[in-house]
Structure 1
Amino acid sequence: MSDITPPSVARPSAATPLTILLCFIVALLEGMDIQSAGIAGPGIAAHFGLDKVQLGWVFSASILGLLPGAFGGGWLADRIGRKRVLTVAVVLFGLFSLLTTQSWNLDSLLLARFMTGLGLGAALPNLIALTSESAGNDRRATAVSLMYCGVPLGGALASLAGMFATPERWQLVFHLGGWAPLLVAPLLYRYLPESAAYQQQAADRRRPSIVQGLFRAGQAVPTLLLWLSCFFTLLVVYLLLNWLPSLLIGQGFSRPQAGSVQLLLNLGMTLGSLLAGVLLDRWRPALLVTLVYAGILVALAALGSLEGFAGMLLAGFAAGFFVLAAQLVLYALAPQFYPASVRATGVGSAVAVGRLGSIGGPLLAGQMLASGSGTAGLMSLAAPGVVVAAVGIILLLRHRPAPE
């Protein structure tokens, strides 16, 4: 791991606050688009006459696009620059979010959601790489957390829009998530600083291949453990993001009540993202991981067993807090295992593998609900995956590169 940039070289630059701010704005927009389908789900189902299995495919279409988007976006960023790829990705997911509102049948809807996910996926590894590379080694997790808290905040904005949108006006959240990125893209092109770490290695024509970069001597085990934890963690995250509103309505809660729980879920995610990054830079990481994943298990049990509205609000907040803290820890750690020449590729590969879990979560939930399984059964099914993810990340920490 000798080519990992040591602290003496990796100093925060003067552009760090601007980089974090602009990446935070993009993360905010990404959070709006990622959760838009789940929030508009009841309206989409009514408009197109979809059953639960078909609605699960709608949820998973954008997530399916995230997988090649994340991997391809990271690979391209290591070759043509983080800023360029991020700007194009923002235009892509904004444009196809708007085109979602013009869908005329299930096939066109699935295509629009897939292309939206392609742009969303390409954006995320670049957001992580840019913010991580702009900060010093002792503040990288904090920088990533400040950026990434924009994702749940964007989800909260989408939840607010969903509370004011009737099923007949399901297009509202997609208009909001489409026009805003198209307005922000020119600002990125004009003001976002390119990563200094990328610029330093861009002149080197001897870039390692993907296999060499991710599986070279001493790196294969960390890469595989990172993939394992990302897969199971994101399975739980996207199960909650996509199905929670429909589950709550199915349990007898009103649409405003379901929107309130979803809003608390996103606010919990915001706080979890912020605190996890700060604590990761200061606490023993293994202790933090143990507490976070134990919290996920407790929150899932509460969502599956509580019946009162007040208790469900608290459970939604706790679930959001812990699942996003877990995801943030993974995203903050990922850049530390790769040199600048393959950093975006490494982060993108972890995000892409995590998206496989994101795809499986909503589809599995749709199949279980269609077969008559209740919310409690669905939440208990996610518990073993949480345990596997926790074990994977604790083992991963043993391979964490020590600062030179």
Structure 2
Amino acid sequence: MPVRPASPRPVLTVALCCAVALLEGFDLQSTGITAPFLAKAFGLAPAQLGWVFSAGLMGLLPGAFLGGWLADRAGRKGTLLAAVLLFGAFTLFTAHASSYPGLLLARLLTGLGLGAALPIIIAVASEAAAPRLRSTAVSLTYCGVPLGGALASLISLSGVGEQWRTVFHIGGLAPLLIAVALLVWLPRLGVTAPSQRAEGSPAGRLFSQGRARQTLLLWLACFFTLTVLYLLLNWLPSLLMAKGFDRVQAGWVQVLFNLGGAAGSLLTGRLMDRRRTGLAVVIAYLGMLVALAGLGLAATFTGMALAGVLGGYCCIGAQLVLYALAPRVYPADMRATGVGACVAVGRLGSMAGPLAAGQILAAGAGVGGVLLAASPGLVVAALAALALVGEGRGKAFSGNIVNSIND
């Protein structure tokens, strides 16, 4: 199978992919910072507001798989442009929604576009860089997500979130501007010619040609990692306020969580490119367990802030490991499909985590119960990630755990 050539402008390509990721991170948290004002404007009960959150997440799952599949069939650039235009247009529609059903539809279609964009930018960033820098390229791209989240948190602290329509105007116009930049500057990475494609559909080949075990390990790790990540992204402010911290303190911990996530993405990518993938896995998952304990036990703002930074570093670092490994598991003609399927399964976890936290809190288990319940999933994810690294022994994308730590 011919290898897709690297982008002639790798730095510009990765920068554009990072910009798209930043928009995704901003949008994923924009609904949270505007939630009280949306509820007031539309007269929403808590259950109805929950559906506003869920509508966007529901769109992410099919968007991830369809976006990856279309990118492999119709081309990376055109599919990415369509995805960015879709979520930009319907974020603007959110700002002008006049009814509750219209609001739900806008969030659903926004999620569809966001979901389609992520696997494509991961695949494009991986293909743009030289082999020795591919994990770094993916990490530079993905750090845009927590940076976008940090930007949304800062907007919340500034009080602009009260002008909820303005938040969605910003979140809608920016993608339209980025789409113009993509059209002008993103190289056209060609579609693999039909005569050069392996037999069978890309979706079916996820489990053929010896890839079934790697695919299942990747999915298992993604599901449980994103379960914990989105539990924290959605519930962290509420959990902090339940422990007696005020809204501003909770907001700053969320900012630090996202900034720690950006650092985790960048540094984990560098570890992987230096053939320390196993070490990166150990740091990420062990650190997440320590961070969860810190969030549950810290009684001071300083302690909580440190736990927040560590949690962000390790949660995003763990996700980056998986997103950087995924493009290496699959050949070029099905790479976006493979990454899209991985992201889609992770989205299932992103829906399960917040829902599970709500049920645990409703049962009266408290903050400690929520954080304790997240720990077994992290152990499962860590074991799956380590097994995936071991599966790569002797292959291009990684060495085994012993070599990764001792080299």
**TM-score normalised by the chain length of structure 2:** 0.91
State how far apart, in whole Å, the 1-side matches of 2:70 and 2:335 are: 11
Q: Does 1:302 align with 2:294?
A: yes
Alpha-carbon distance change, 26 to 237 in structure 1, aligned in 2, over 3 angstroms: same
- SS of residue in 1 equivalent to 2:147: helix
Q: Does 1:394 align with 2:386?
A: yes
* 1:41 alignment partner in structure 2: 35
* 2:375 alignment partner in structure 1: 383
RMSD after superposition: 2.1
Q: Does 1:93 align with 2:87?
A: yes
* 1:230 alignment partner in structure 2: 222
Alpha-carbon distance change, 330 to 385 in structure 1, aligned in 2, over 3 angstroms: same
Aligned residue type for 1:291: I
Contact 1:53–1:363, Cα closer than 8 Å, also in 2 = no
Deviates more, 1:342-351 or 1:253-262: 253-262
Contact 1:142–1:281, Cα closer than 8 Å, also in 2 = yes
Deviations 1:263-316 (A, max 9, x none): 101100000000010101114322221121000011011112223222111111
Contact 2:226–2:347, Cα closer than 8 Å, also in 1 = yes
Indicate which of 239, 246, 249 corresponds to 2:241.
249
Contact 1:27–1:150, Cα closer than 8 Å, also in 2 = yes
Contact 1:44–1:167, Cα closer than 8 Å, also in 2 = no
State how far apart, in whole Å, the 2-side matches of 1:185 and 1:207 are: 34
- SS of residue in 2 equivalent to 1:402: coil
Deviations 1:152-210 (A, max 9, x none): 11111111111123664333432221111111111111210122xx4454664665313
State how far apart, in whole Å, the 2-side matches of 1:279 and 1:11 are: 24
State how far apart, in whole Å, the 2-side matches of 1:373 and 1:110 are: 31
Unaligned runs of 5+ in 1: none
Matches within 5 A, 1:209-288: 209-288=201-280
Q: Does 1:31 align with 2:3?
A: no
* 2:176 alignment partner in structure 1: 182
Contact 1:239–1:361, Cα closer than 8 Å, also in 2 = yes
Aligned residue type for 1:261: V
Deviations 1:14-46 (A, max 9, x none): 311111111111111111011212222333344
Indicate which of 378, 393, 403 corresponds to 2:396.
403
Deviations 1:204-223 (A, max 9, x none): 46653134320113100000
Aligned residue type for 1:226: L
**Deviation of residue 53 (structure 1)?**
4.5
Contact 1:214–1:223, Cα closer than 8 Å, also in 2 = yes
State how far apart, in whole Å, the 2-side matches of 1:211 and 1:344 are: 10
* 2:12 alignment partner in structure 1: 18
State how far apart, in whole Å, the 2-side matches of 1:310 and 1:254 are: 14
**TM-score normalised by the chain length of structure 1:** 0.92
* 1:364 alignment partner in structure 2: 356
Identity of aligned residues (%): 56
Alpha-carbon distance change, 48 to 306 in structure 1, aligned in 2, over 3 angstroms: farther
**Deviation of residue 59 (structure 1)?**
2.3
State how far apart, in whole Å, the 1-side matches of 2:101 and 2:359 are: 20
Q: Does 1:65 align with 2:59?
A: yes
Deviates more, 1:16-25 or 1:206-215: 206-215
State how far apart, in whole Å, the 1-side matches of 2:2 and 2:240 are: 46
Alpha-carbon distance change, 371 to 106 in structure 1, aligned in 2, over 3 angstroms: farther
Aligned residue type for 2:396: P
* 1:148 alignment partner in structure 2: 142
**Deviation of residue 60 (structure 1)?**
2.5
State how far apart, in whole Å, the 1-side matches of 2:324 and 2:212 are: 19
* 2:314 alignment partner in structure 1: 322
Alpha-carbon distance change, 201 to 339 in structure 1, aligned in 2, over 3 angstroms: farther
Aligned residue type for 2:305: L
* 2:405 alignment partner in structure 1: none
Aligned residue type for 2:59: G
Unaligned runs of 5+ in 2: 398-407
Contact 1:235–1:358, Cα closer than 8 Å, also in 2 = yes
Q: Does 1:157 align with 2:188?
A: no
Deviations 1:209-252 (A, max 9, x none): 13432011310000011000000001111111122223323433
Q: Does 1:120 align with 2:114?
A: yes
Alpha-carbon distance change, 142 to 340 in structure 1, aligned in 2, over 3 angstroms: same
* 1:208 alignment partner in structure 2: 200
Aligned residue type for 1:337: V
* 1:351 alignment partner in structure 2: 343
State how far apart, in whole Å, the 1-side matches of 2:220 and 2:391 are: 15
State how far apart, in whole Å, the 1-side matches of 2:102 and 2:296 are: 34
Aligned residue type for 2:214: P
- SS of residue in 1 equivalent to 2:175: helix
Deviates more, 1:322-331 or 1:297-306: 297-306
State how far apart, in whole Å, the 2-side matches of 1:243 and 1:52 are: 14
Q: Does 1:169 align with 2:163?
A: yes
State how far apart, in whole Å, the 2-side matches of 1:238 and 1:181 are: 23
Aligned residue type for 1:161: I
Indicate which of 332, 350, 354 corresponds to 2:324.
332
Q: Does 1:313 align with 2:305?
A: yes
Alpha-carbon distance change, 143 to 205 in structure 1, aligned in 2, over 3 angstroms: closer
Alpha-carbon distance change, 46 to 365 in structure 1, aligned in 2, over 3 angstroms: farther
Alpha-carbon distance change, 383 to 53 in structure 1, aligned in 2, over 3 angstroms: farther
State how far apart, in whole Å, the 2-side matches of 1:358 and 1:87 are: 25
